[in-house]
Chain A
């Protein structure tokens, strides 16, 4: 369980997160939606201690993240930011093996390699594991990064816009993988996502943010609601029930 209590953050006097309190359930997918600049990325960056909060408390399973050693946290929580920023020439296998760094400090033992192999197989990257990342397509690269996070083997997995620049097929593939991580491996997944239909179809809970404040949080079906969405995006969005899924029509 991630507990966020009265958290504030501002950059250059501009308030980005204002008095946010949230509880994130374990073993579920929680999506963060909201317009650009709502503070979604900032919030999950604070949860994963990438940026420091100004005020408030964030704890994971009852432990304050600021009191926990960075290396210990790395075994508990992992975050994947937009992955296209890495331009190092590494092979897929090398990248995935870095996921074991918190456990091995670089000296991987048999168990670590086992985990690396598992992660590679889980993301079906076996036949391209010795290729360099810059030889892969965007979708494959994203899968390689997720494989690294799987190898890191943390209970909590945070992803910042994992579907960025991916086509529909790859987006669905990634979301299904995340669903499986939760359903099969019992992970807790937090994602920042722009496509509200993906959020609606694949997540258990949704947190809607606007201007640094929580507008609504709850089960996916409660947040995907005409009034709530109007509130967040300032536009009329029709919601249709198709095969028991709530689909937003906003075109």
Chain B
């Protein structure tokens, strides 16, 4: 019996595994993290799926399209694009300690 997949991997050695955090926990790149004010956030206030500018513009895919949006601080690089793009200014950048 030949195990094609394993043989292939042995020969090429380049079949790569998709992983989260290839560069490590990139959240450590910046101590500043976006904090969402639930009182102002449009989907959280209306309870309906709308706006989601923070999810749309995030280059790192760390914001979830949920009500309210959640941000994964383990991988958020703290660029601040979501703060700039929030139409109601519900996001502020604050220093958060990460382990």
A in complex with B: no
Please give the residue numbers on chain A whose beta carbons come within 8 Å of chain B beta carbons, in ascending order: none
